[in-house]
Amino acid sequence: MRHVSLILALAAFWLLLSGFFKPFLLLAGLGSVLAVTWFTDRRMKVLDFEGHPVHLSVNALTYWPWLLWEIVKAGWDVTKIILHPRLPISPCMIRVPTSQATDVGRVIYANSITLTPGTISVELESGSILVHALTQAGADGLATGDMDRRSTAFEAAR
């Protein structure tokens, strides 16, 4: 399943970037895709549960739109702070607990925090993430645990 998924993803990416549909170029692209798949599996040994997590594909359809909306909302908040004459920031560090079961889940959660404007993951440990927040309100929003719960549910798809 992982091989087929990787081949399809690479082929789609190649077609998207090249835009050529001549027989020779399609064969060259197919050869490239098959070579990359072979190297990632046989030589590099990274085509595994964590290297190509196809099991997360279904839940990505609900998690990514939610995360995109969170990024837009946080971006709007940061924009208002930057344009405010007094620049009302209250930077702080907060340690948020993680409830994910795997390293992939913890990385998804840490990256989701970093992608959201106004917050950045500084340190990832087994049970928590140290986060720098631009405002106390941003830190309080993380402390509610909504993003943690959603990223745990996203990871739980198997």
Q: 92-150: per-residue pLDDT in tens?
A: 999 999 999 988 889 999 999 999 999 999 999 989 999 999 999 999 999 999 999 99
Nearest to 30 by CA among 1, 2, 10: 10
Largest CA distance in the chain: 61
pLDDT at 33 exceeding the cut of 90? yes
pLDDT band of 11, cuts 50, 70, 90: very high
- Asked if residues 80 and 138 have their Cβ atoms less than 8 Å apart, the reply is no
pTM: 0.76
